Amino acid sequence: MSTDNFKRDLFEQFARLGKAMGNGHRLEILEFLAQCEYNVESLSRLSGLSVANTSQHLQQLRQAGLVKGRKEGLHVFYQLADPEVVELMTVLRRVAERNLAEVDRLVSSYLRVKDDLEPIPAEELLQRARDGLVTVLDVRPPEEYAAGHVPGAINISLAELEQLPPDTEREIVAYCRGPYCVLAYAAVERLRQRGLKARRLADGYPEWKDAGLPVEQKTED
Per-residue pLDDT of the chain (221 residues; tens, 9 = 90+): 567 789 899 999 999 999 999 999 999 999 999 999 999 999 999 999 999 999 999 999 999 999 999 999 889 999 999 999 999 999 999 999 999 999 989 988 888 777 777 899 999 999 999 999 999 999 999 999 999 999 999 999 998 998 887 766 789 999 999 999 999 999 999 999 888 899 999 999 999 999 999 999 976 55
Selection from 117, 136, 123 nearest residue 175 by Cα: 136
Q: 99 in a domain, yes or no?
A: no
The last residue of one of the domains, among 24, 51, 85, is 85
- The DSSP bridge partners found for residue 76 are 71
Same-domain status, 192 and 117: yes
Predicted local distance difference test score (pLDDT) of residue 117: 76
122, 176, 196, 198: which one is catalytic?
176
Predicted local distance difference test score (pLDDT) of residue 1: 58
Query: Which amino acid is present at 85?
Result: V
Q: 92 in a domain, yes or no?
A: no
pTM: 0.90
Start-to-end C-alpha separation, the chain: 60
36 is catalytic: no
Query: Which amino acid is present at 181?
Result: C
Structural domain range at position 61: 3-85
Predicted local distance difference test score (pLDDT) of residue 121: 96
Same-domain status, 116 and 203: yes
d(CA 19, CA 26): 10
Same-domain status, 117 and 199: yes
